[in-house]
Amino acid sequence: MLVHLVLLVIALLVRIDYTSGDAGGGGAEPVEFAILSESELDEHTASDAEVVEFQQIETDSLVDLDLLSDVGAQQSVNDLAETLAPELENGGGSLSAMDAQTGSSGAGAGEGASFFGLEAKGKRFAYIVDRSGSMDSLLRSRELSRWELTQIELVRSVQGLGAGAEYFVVLFSTNAKPLFGGSEWIKGTQTNKASTSVAMMGATANGGTEPEEAFRMVFNLEPKPDAIYFMTDGEFNQSIPARIASMNRRRRVPIHCILLGEPGSPSITQRVEGMLKGIARSSNGRYTHLQDVSSNGVIVP
């Protein structure tokens, strides 16, 4: 027993130093050990652990729609500006700088709208937009086609509508087709506006210039529109203005008419201008002729 006690005392008095991977010793600092119970270890770990805060990040939503029957588009809405509105010059000028006074901006505030610089008041706006094959023609500056410019401007106009607004888009060529294939007003929610942007991205120009069917669709809407935008770049049947006036005789909805580019020879252009001016005048609407877009992004009347 005495021997065992002596050995135990010696063991308690002896201090053993461990070097960190150094077999030969050489002045390394001693490593001290501590034995903790499981409960003490848990308490120690909880007190020293770094608190990590998590933040939910909302990512861009993907819109996957089958619009215009033959168009399927899946694209982040935030990428639309880069894809749809290319730079107009190497210096960085872009269509985002277009001047509303000379023909673009596209965004109406509150209960109103603007399309190619023509302001309209109200809550419900119908867009009758030419997508005929001639819309693929380049503007004078040769920086954009008529159709590309129209895509950009329609997206801007819809994006600028107030949250309480409603809209309806009909693309026409040889035939007319609502953008979403229905016959109801589209509420001006951010989701619907985003879907409209994607749909316009996928639409292409082809066919002739036959707007009458599109007007019938718009005048069949209930409630009736507060204003109609009618944009074309080509000549159409000279009997159509009278038919439009007949459809519009009860309500006399203002029809704001836009001629984009030159429909043909000076005589053809003059004839188309006369028809559009007549449609606008008989409905208390307005008319504008937009011929080009300059290098700084301003639409030139």
Written as one string, the DSSP assignment of 4-38 is HHHHHHHHHH------SS-TT--SPPP-------H
pLDDT value for 294: 52
Q: Which domains does the chain have, with CATH numbers?
A: 65-300 (3.40.50.410)
Residue type present at position 39: S
- Whole-angstrom CA distances from 116 to 108, 158, 291 are 11, 12, 12
pLDDT digits (tens, 9 = 90+) for 196-249: 999 998 999 999 999 999 999 999 999 999 999 999 999 999 999 999 999 999
> How far apart, in whole angstroms, are the C-alpha atoms of residue 72 and residue 88?
27
Rounded to two decimals, the pTM is: 0.67
How confident is the model over 81-128, as pLDDT tens digits? 444 443 322 222 233 333 333 333 334 445 899 999 999 999 999 999
Question: Distance from first CA to last CA of the chain, Å, rounded?
Answer: 114
CB 195 within 8 A of CB 77: no
Q: Is the dihedral of CA 86, 90, 96, 100 positive or negative?
A: negative
pLDDT tens for each residue of 24-37:
333 434 434 344 45
* pLDDT higher than threshold 80 for residue 266: yes
Across residues 54-81, what is the average pLDDT? 36
Residue 273: other Cβ atoms inside 10 A: 15
- Please tell me the predicted confidence (pLDDT) of residue 55: 34
Could you tell me which residues come within 8 angstroms of residue 150 by beta carbon, excluding any fewer than 6 positions away? 129, 130, 135, 231, 260
Rounded distance between C-alpha atoms, residue 152 and residue 197, angstroms = 9
Alpha carbon distance 257, 270 (integer Å) = 14
- Exposed, middle or buried, 207 (CB in 10 Å: 0-12/13-18/19+)? middle
Can you give the pLDDT at residue 46? 47
